[in-house]
Amino acid sequence: MRLLTVVPELECFLNRFRNLMSRIRFRHFCRYIIGLAASDRKSIRRIAVSCQERVDQSNLNRFIHSDAIDDNSIQARVMDMVWRNIAKRRPSGRLKVFLIIDDSLLQKFGTHMEGAGYIFSTKEHRSILCHDVVTSFMVAGGMGYPVDVRLYVKEDMCGTMGVPFKTRIELAGELIKSFRVPP
């Protein structure tokens, strides 16, 4: 499937991130976001072929794994946009904000996916190949917003990936500590 146009609302949203990266990286960023929204299957290959101007999947792979993209600045920009949206809708007075932390297993079928491992699923009553993601979700002013995510990696895999081992509780603690509510 090829995308024929980008809706103006999405283009306006994506342009808010333009100054956070180079022109080429911004184009990859747009391709990735649009591909996630429009592709029926969310693989890098499918996202690459869904782009109006064809791009090789290796380019998107390099973009996603690049250290040149500052995830924290993108996350900060998203949260700034969320708080502005809440401020527009906010009733007068104090606003209750709930931060919800959860971990979820996302089953995988490819055996060579970075960070995937066999983890016991209470739903399946057996170990499944999956990613275990610890997420934070905020409810404020009657609206819900995804906030942040951390990937849980089993201790035996951390060494091969070159990342320090952290328990799900430690990852949840990071999500709570990094959450900022404006004054």
pLDDT tens for residues 137-150?
999 888 899 999 99
- Find where tokens 């306006």 sit: 12
Give the tokens for residue 109. 């079928």
pTM of the entire structure?
A: 0.78
Alpha-carbon distance of 160 to 167, in angstroms, equals 17
Tell me which DSSP letter residue 30 carries: H
Q: Which of 1-5, 24-28, 92-96 has the lowest mean pLDDT?
A: 1-5
Kindly report the average pLDDT of the chain as a whole number. 86
* Alpha-carbon radius of gyration of the chain: 18
Q: Is the separation of the CB atoms in 137 and 172 below 8 Å? A: no
